[in-house]
Structure 1
Amino acid sequence: MLKQSTRFQSEEVNMQNIIATMQKHQKDIEKQFSQDSNTQSIHKFSEDMKGANEFIGALQTANVACRKILKLAKDLGANSLSQDSQDLQDIIENTAFMGVKLFNTQLSTTLNATSYTFCIDNPMPLLQADSNTQALIAYIEEKSQEITQMLLTLSDALIESSTSSENYNFNEFNAKAFSQMLKG
């Protein structure tokens, strides 16, 4: 009876140690995610054709970065994890379009009275939380698909706006405004 009681106490201590360790890791992960979410910024492109084109350029740049991250993540080796992690971090930190960082930045524009918004959170906490790269790969693949879908949607919106004659007032022509528009 005494042996059983001692064994249960020992198992209870082990379980408490395991729980304490898990809670510590959970707090570390939550802290990392909260730090990342607090550093998120917003960049709103202008509400005209130029803004839409800049938004498209930012999405294309982000898509290229996603492909680079996917390639690196799929090739991650256990013995060079720290170097590969640094390479991933470098890609994330250096991915920018016209001076605007693309990770942890909410990008938005308005075209034809419709708002378009896109954001890619920094995926590094996924790799740091679990040395298995599957969560990172799944997240980046999902974001890449979202970018592709957003680009298709914007393409349709641009075609719609360029073929719609409702946007033009052919009865009024302001030569001065037209001249100013051509000057830039």
Structure 2
Amino acid sequence: MVQKNILATLKKHIDSGIIEATPKKVTKIQIHNFGENMKGINEFIGATQILSINLSKIKNLSEKIEWINELLKQEENKNTASMLKTQKNAHLANIKFVIDGAVFMGVKLFDTKLSCIVNKMIFNLNIENPLNYIDNNMFEYCNEKLDEINLIMEKINSRLNDVDKDSNSIGYNESFKENPFIKLL
């Protein structure tokens, strides 16, 4: 009998609106879209991290190639020039190796358009093969693309933070008053 009274009192308080801690209804479609978007965001971030690491390696190698090219312009000794050309070719081979190794989930990342959607905003990234810029300042191209990646990552971070702020207004009603509930016990 006492349990029925406690349950009846609890039900009365819940029905009267004193305790309001129920979440708003979320449809299955919203949850599915959220999951797909988060998966896409995670994949995009993973791919851009790999691109960033590989672009940094290529940038360092291209700087060495530029330095060798400057030395070759001044070098008169054929043996030294031959050694410098060998080093340059080794650096080019290393760049090709890095480019070929830039793969995420079986997809080569250079010359591939990457995109994701965050809070209804589309982010796109396309990085051409840096070897296309071997005669046209590959070092600067890598710097530009690294800056572009950093800018996109900052924007994604900002959009994700905006989603977190908005989620507080959609979620649970935080006007729960514990005193009436404690009095029941």
TM bin, normalised by shorter chain, reads: 0.5 to 0.7
Shift of 1:96: 1.3
Shift of 1:168: 3.9
Alignment counterpart, residue 154 of structure 1, candidates 156, 168, 172: 156
* Equivalent position SS for 1:75: helix
1:54 is the counterpart of 2:16: no
Could you say what the CA RMSD is over the residues aligned between the two structures, in angstroms?
Answer: 2.0
Shift of 1:157: 0.8
* Equivalent position SS for 1:121: coil
Paired residues, what number? 121
Q: Which residue of 2 aligns with 1:74?
A: 63
Shift of 1:60: 1.1
TM-score (norm 1): 0.60
1:99 is the counterpart of 2:102: no
Shift of 1:81: 1.8
% identity of equivalent residues: 31
* Equivalent position SS for 1:103: coil
TM-score (norm 2): 0.60
Does the C-alpha gap of structure 1 residues 86 and 49 become closer, same or farther in structure 2, counting only changes over 3 Å?
Answer: same
Kindly report which structure 2 residues correspond to 1:10-49, keeping only aligned pairs within 5 A, or say none. 47-49=36-38
Q: Pick 1 or 2: higher relative contact order, CA cutoff 8 A, min separation 6.
A: 2
**What are structure 2's unaligned runs of at least 5 residues?**
1-34, 69-83, 174-185
Paired residues of 1:61 and 1:97 also in contact (CA < 8 A): yes
Give, as a single letter, the amino acid of the residue that structure 1 aligns with 2:137: A
**What are structure 1's unaligned runs of at least 5 residues?**
1-45, 172-184
Largest Rg, 1 or 2: 2
Within 1, Cα distance between the matches of 2:112 and 2:36? Answer: 18
